Amino acid sequence: MKKNQTQVTAFILAGFSSFEDLQTVLFAMFLLTYIITLMGNLLIMVIIGTDWSLHVPMYFFLFVLSFSETCYSLVIIPRMLVDLLVKSRTISYAGCAAQMFFFLGLGGTNCLVLTVMGYDRYLAICHPLHYPILMNVRVILWLVAASWTGGFLISLTETALVFGVPFCGSNTINHFFCHMRTMVKLACTDDNNAEVIITAISIVGLAGSFLFIMLTYVFILSTILRIPSTDSRQKAFSTCASHLIVVIVHYGFASIIYLKPNAAGVLDNDTLISLPYTIITPFLSPMIFTLRNKEIKVALRKAISKKIVLPKIQNVKCTC
């Protein structure tokens, strides 16, 4: 019966239509969160880009992560904000495929960049004498390129699997964006091979990178505990604390989305469950890195003091 129905050429994003009375409140709340997220990531990128003391591999990877998360939030949130204000929430077939491709690609890139950051901290703490050789400019650029390439190759595979099946009948996506697992449920085919492969890729990708990061921290913790000086131990651990917190938050929310059971009726709450991963994680990451990183806070204070002191000097000069 499904095969005899008209081929779908566009989709309707249901979004938060079940919360019709809260559309304005949700718009204001999400807009404020989005603005703070953008400002936080842009602030990190500007500070790292302008302060020469932060031109080291650790902060270069943080710059890349902030840029990736900025692009990641741009893929989903602006469209979601518009849909909260309008009645027509139609998205074209090509637009839906493009949104899924960039969302998955940037999400995968974030995971791989976090993995690279863990590897960087492992080399810096466990192999400090060989660190300048092991983490040179060529290696840094290769790791960043591999993160972006790997993220979008995974995305290309999963997007091709989702849109490689025909869609007919219902074209309403019970979500605020073209969510991969929700889209699979709309396919007019009884073959679940695509769903099995997508789930396997998600499990291997998330679990593999998370276990690798945790393994690096086992070695890092073992090395830190052998440091005789208390101050040196605290300094070594403080350079890893913010990264570890972001990893736990990022992978914790991601696992709720991609590793939870796929039983009937479970997907009904995907809209609310996806909010932490799509909105809260990009919102928390710059705050954690800014508030818990001493060197970034020092660089921020230096930048603020320059903005305050320089006009005063200029005024005195002009007066004289």
Taking Cα atoms as reference points, which of 82, 111, 116 lies closest to residue 99? 82
pTM of the model: 0.87
Q: How far is CA 222 from CA 219, 233, 238, in A?
A: 5, 11, 15
Q: Which amino acid is at 256?
A: I
Is 164 in contact with 191 (CB distance < 8 Å)? no
In terms of Cβ atoms closer than 10 Å to its own Cβ (0-12, 13-18, 19+), residue 83 is: buried
Residue 64 φ then ψ, to 5°: -65, -40
Q: What is the pLDDT of residue 259?
A: 66
Taking Cα atoms as reference points, which of 105, 107, 88, 270 lies closest to residue 179? 270
pLDDT (tens digit, 9 = 90+) per residue, 241-297?
888 889 998 888 887 777 665 544 444 456 777 788 888 888 888 888 877 777 787
How do the residues of the chain divide into helix, strand and coil, expressed in percent and rounded to 5?
Answer: 80, 5, 15
Q: What is the pLDDT of residue 265?
A: 44
- Among the four given CATH numbers 3.40.50.920, 3.30.470.20, 3.40.50.1820, 1.20.1070.10, the one describing domain 7-319: 1.20.1070.10
Q: What is the pLDDT of residue 269?
A: 56
User: In the numeric block, which tokens belong to residue 153?
Assistant: 């190759």
- Sorted by sequence, the CB contacts under 8 Å of residue 304 that are 6+ apart come out as none
Is 20 in contact with 48 (CB distance < 8 Å)? no
DSSP class of 203: H
Is 185 in contact with 267 (CB distance < 8 Å)? yes
Taking Cα atoms as reference points, which of 191, 162, 189, 193 lies closest to residue 178? 162
Q: Describe the crossing of helices 281-292 and 230-258 by its angle, rounded to 10 degrees.
A: 180
Q: What is the pLDDT along the chain (320 residues), one digit of tens a residue?
A: 444 455 777 888 887 877 778 888 989 999 999 999 999 999 999 999 888 888 899 999 999 999 999 999 999 999 999 988 887 788 999 999 999 999 999 999 999 999 999 999 999 999 989 999 999 999 999 999 999 999 999 999 999 998 888 887 778 888 888 888 888 888 777 667 777 888 888 888 888 999 999 999 999 999 888 888 777 778 778 778 888 889 998 888 887 777 665 544 444 456 777 788 888 888 888 888 877 777 787 777 877 776 544 344 344 343 33
C-alpha to C-alpha distance for 146 and 81, rounded to whole angstroms? 33
Is 162 in contact with 183 (CB distance < 8 Å)? yes
C-alpha to C-alpha distance for 250 and 285, rounded to whole angstroms? 9
DSSP class of 168: B
Q: What is the pLDDT of residue 309?
A: 43
Is 113 in contact with 105 (CB distance < 8 Å)? no
Q: Describe the crossing of helices 57-83 and 137-163 by its angle, rounded to 10 degrees.
A: 30
233 sits in the region (left: phi over 0; alpha: psi -120 to 50; else beta) called alpha
Q: Which amino acid is at 149?
A: T
Q: What is the pLDDT of residue 317?
A: 43
Taking Cα atoms as reference points, which of 251, 93, 110, 266 lies closest to residue 182? 266
Q: What is the pLDDT of residue 262?
A: 55
What are the structural domain ranges in the chain? Answer: 7-319
